[in-house]
Structure 1
Amino acid sequence: MNEALMRAALHAAERGWHVFPLRPNTKRPALHGENACPRTGPCASGHRKWEERATTDPDRIRAAWAHAPFNVGIATGPSGLLVVDLDVPKDNSSTVAPDGAATFEALCERTGQAVPRTRTVRTASGGHHLYFTAPAPVRLHNTAGTLAPLVDTRAWGGYVVAAGSTIDGTPYELEGPALLRPLPGWLKALLVPPHPANRPPVAAPGNGRRHPYVASALGKETAAVATAREGQRNATLLRAARALGRFVASGDLTRTEVEDALQGAGESAGLPAAECRATLRSALDWSITHNQTSTREAA
């Protein structure tokens, strides 16, 4: 077992992927933490975390894996990888909830793209890891559910369990062709917020024939989203969509007008496009339903 896992680690390193040991049969790093750091060897000048200690050096790999049947962790950032993690619902008894593969396929369909084919690893839980080379000029980080439910990404600050490793005896296995492809441009666009210098100016759509207070509300909420501070952006977008949803329910604004204005404002503020769409969809659905119900009850 040690030899098979050592070969898996060496094979990954040959591809330029930085590896580090995980505890046998688990996903947890086998390296010491900061509190237990001996301040020797790689940590002589200060504690180094797993991402910094991951290596492609075959001698270091052989020395590490000679001690135990460690699973293989691949530090995605230093390896130049972006891995899309298609997870499965944690409650395996539920056959109704879609898994990450289904929600990712739905995302591809909505954006008019084919499901990308690239190096794919089946995980021990039954999910899938789609490996892509990360775009060199961009430093991507991990995301959780930004693209779609049960769809995460691993880049800088993240790692994946390599093929050949096992969790509770169930292996991670390569599926299909091993060809590694670059991250598709449309996925990159969903993961990289627009640079401030390249953000388009946000202008609230107007209509001279509508009531002045409707246009004023649209302009006010759009500006609030566009200027929201980091950490408050999604909440501001949610509040704005709920506030404007009542005008959609009353027929003073179309849903498309509200979605276009707030989507542009959210992206201008730095929110990922997919996150904007998801927030707008749920907030407007709630607001329109709530306000239509209130109007019927008042009548």
Structure 2
Amino acid sequence: MTHPDHDRALECALAAARRGFPVIPLSRTKLPAVRSPHRGETARGMCRGQCGRFGHGVHDAATEPARIAELFAAAPWACGYGIACGRSPHYLIGLDLDRKDGVDGVTDLVDLAARWGFAVPWTRTVITPSGGRHLWLRGPAEVVVPNSVRRLGNGIDVRGSGGYLVGPGSVTTAGLYRWDPPTASMPPAVVPKRLLRLLLTTPQRRPVRAAAGPGAGPGAGGSTAEPLIRFVLGSSVGERNERLFWAACRAFENGHGDRVAEEMVGAAVSTGLSEREAESTVGSARRHVLGGSGGRRSAGAL
């Protein structure tokens, strides 16, 4: 017997799929709900679902009702669903506008639009539990938009190719994701050309890699790993393992690596790494910091 939150998530996911949005089931922590079938395998690989089994994160995303039903049946604990970005037919780009901890992504986007001369699109919008907004935009088929964190502003994260957005109707540890009612039936608006240029050309903010001690990069000296998770989510192709290794090292140095390891793996999976690759990288970071005996090393330059 399934939980009402699971049944609602499945119903909403099927409704999204009917509109052409590929979906996957998510856990309450907003991570892919189906575990990797490659856990425990010693050989590293680049499987993106070619093995035919579920558990490859966003690479499992589907629009076929039968496959979606099978995905949710494989994860009866799922209480939400993710919308895969960068996929046909919508080539979705998600703008995640935070509104918490003194950050206002909505204002940041309005300021950005005024500065660069484009209009903020009126488009399909989801309200997050913290009062933030997810704006859904349609990208061009021939362009790969990378995921990024705070690249355009302190309150603006971007979900592009290899990423996903939490779908409305999902229940998470933070609460319920829901439609902004006037936009619920709207198609995603086309991304403005000037905004698209910014998405492709604005350099990612990188942390300062100090030689040792706290303060090196996001969350390095704090008690929370959220900035580190966001740093991993901002990875682009070619830098995902490096950023995951750096963030995991910072987490182990500050004593909460084991507690947040699974969340870091999930964040890396959402950017396109396989769970096997991500688990191996986090394990390497643990050994680098703690050593074989479990003793702590100094941070060092990475």
- Per the normalisation by structure 1, the TM-score is 0.57
Query: 2-side partners of 1:168 and 1:46: how far apart?
Result: 28
**C-alpha deviation, 1:20, in angstroms:** 0.9
Alignment of 1:182-193 (within 5 A): 182-193=190-201
**C-alpha deviation, 1:154, in angstroms:** 0.3
Matched, 1:27 2:35: no
In the alignment, what sits opposite 2:96? Answer: 85
**Structure 1 pair 234/164, CA: closer, same or farther in 2 (3 Å)?**
closer
**Structure 1 pair 47/16, CA: closer, same or farther in 2 (3 Å)?**
closer
What is the aligned length? 192
**Structure 1 pair 133/232, CA: closer, same or farther in 2 (3 Å)?**
closer
Q: Which amino acid in 2 is paired with 1:177?
A: T
Q: Which amino acid in 1 is paired with 2:76?
A: A
- Per the normalisation by structure 2, the TM-score is 0.56
Alignment of 1:131-170 (within 5 A): 131-168=136-173, 170=175
**1:81-120 CA-partner distances (Å, limit 9, x unpaired):** 000110123x3xxxxx341111111111222333221000
Check whether the contact 1:20–1:53 (CA below 8 A) recurs between aligned residues.
yes
Q: Secondary structure at the match of 1:68?
A: coil
In the alignment, what sits opposite 1:57? Answer: 64
**Structure 1 pair 231/78, CA: closer, same or farther in 2 (3 Å)?**
closer
Q: Which amino acid in 1 is paired with 2:7?
A: E
In structure 2, stretches of 5+ residues that fail to align are 209-302
Query: 1-side partners of 2:135 and 2:58: how far apart?
Result: 20
In the alignment, what sits opposite 2:262? Answer: none
When the two chains are superposed, the root-mean-square deviation of aligned CA atoms in Å is: 3.2
**Structure 1 pair 48/78, CA: closer, same or farther in 2 (3 Å)?**
farther
Q: Secondary structure at the match of 2:183?
A: coil
**Structure 1 pair 114/43, CA: closer, same or farther in 2 (3 Å)?**
closer
In the alignment, what sits opposite 1:9? Answer: 13
Q: Which amino acid in 1 is paired with 2:147?
A: N
**C-alpha deviation, 1:148, in angstroms:** 1.3
Check whether the contact 1:124–1:166 (CA below 8 A) recurs between aligned residues.
no
**Structure 1 pair 3/100, CA: closer, same or farther in 2 (3 Å)?**
same
Q: Which amino acid in 2 is paired with 1:61?
A: I
Query: 2-side partners of 1:193 and 1:111: how far apart?
Result: 13
**C-alpha deviation, 1:76, in angstroms:** 0.9
Q: Secondary structure at the match of 2:134?
A: strand
Query: 2-side partners of 1:141 and 1:111: how far apart?
Result: 20
**1:35-89 CA-partner distances (Å, limit 9, x unpaired):** 427999x553699721221111201212332452521011112251000110123
In the alignment, what sits opposite 2:83? Answer: 74
In structure 1, stretches of 5+ residues that fail to align are 92-96, 195-229, 236-299
Query: 1-side partners of 2:40 and 2:87: how far apart?
Result: 22
Between 1 and 2, higher relative CO (CA 8 Å, sep ≥ 6) is seen in 2
